[in-house]
Amino acid sequence: MEGEKLTAVVTVGRKSKSEAVRLARETAARLRLPYVSRHLESCRALREKYGVEFIMVVKNGTLTLDTPGGEFFFHPGMAHMRLKNLSLGGQDHMILAMGLTEGMSVLDCTLGFASDALVAASVVGQRGRVVGLEANPLVAAVIEYGLAHHTGENYAVHRAMRLIEVKNREHGEFLRELPDDSFDVVYFDPMFRHPFTDSVSLNPLRSLAMSSAIDAASVAEAVRVAKRRVVLKESALSREFARLGFPLVVGGRYSRIKYGVIHKNGR
């Protein structure tokens, strides 16, 4: 918009074909961002040339976001291993915390890479529903396109990707608009207050994700919206569980990650 500083431009990979240019132009129009020609310039050069922080690149049939912390793109990642473990009869601490079964509905308020949403979608299946909220429009665009077009390593991953509904919305506002008991589970996975510095894959997301903590008002709305449970993912030593009123904390005995749980009506 006029008077606002641009944060991103959209372009294509070097030596891209006309199909990539078409997708890049469509993406730019949808996000209300400028499309710029790439020629042989690097993303760093484009960043300096246009005075932007992020470069969205269409290449090899994918959307990639070049950030100061590295490339951000969709990939099933650890969800693949978690789904394989579940298929072999293993347990997943997030699924246990949610009390999730086939046919249930989940609202993921902090979608991010969508790894947790993928695991949830695999469990609830086609009879269930998983909606993922992502406040940053650039992240939402990359993840939504990836979920719709990425080829899964196997059918379970492929099916789960196609089941997730992505909405570019801020969770507090979205929760307030929902009627009571809209979803079985409402889930929060914010950027940890004390992040694991060895999580290099998260570096590109850190510059894009909302850094503010989950507030008590959002948790209260989540309790109203959830039929069964509200779940918060945090580091094991986090004080967020106590601050936000999660009476039950579960997870692996030696895991660095824990899940706070609020049961609704004893369910």
pLDDT in tens, 182-220: 999 999 998 744 444 444 455 555 556 555 789 999 999
Question: CB under 8 Å to 141, separation ≥6 — which residues?
Answer: 27, 30, 31, 56, 63, 168
How high is the pLDDT of residue 68? 84
Confidence category of residue 104, pLDDT binned at 50, 70, 90: very high
pTM recorded for the entire structure: 0.89
- Identify the weakest region by mean pLDDT among 131-145, 196-210, 216-230: 196-210
Mean pLDDT of 130-142: 94
Question: What's the whole-number mean pLDDT along residues 231-246?
Answer: 93
pLDDT of residue 193: 42
Give the CATH superfamily of 78-263: Vaccinia Virus protein VP39 (3.40.50.150)
Per-residue pLDDT, averaged over 29-43, amounts to: 92
Q: How far apart are CA 175 and CA 182, in angstroms?
A: 10
Q: Rounded CA gap, 227 and 250, in Å?
A: 20
List pLDDT tens digits, range 154-175: 788 889 999 999 999 999 999 9
At residue 151, the pLDDT reads 81
Mean pLDDT of the chain: 88
Q: Which class for 164: exposed (0-12), middle (13-18), buried (19 or more C-beta within 10 A)?
A: buried
When mean pLDDT is compared across 65-79, 87-101, 222-236, the lowest value belongs to 65-79
- Comparing 199 with 47, the larger pLDDT belongs to 47
* Closest by CA position to 79, among listed 7, 169, 147: 147
- What pLDDT was estimated at residue 265? 79
Between 2 and 242, the more confident residue is 242
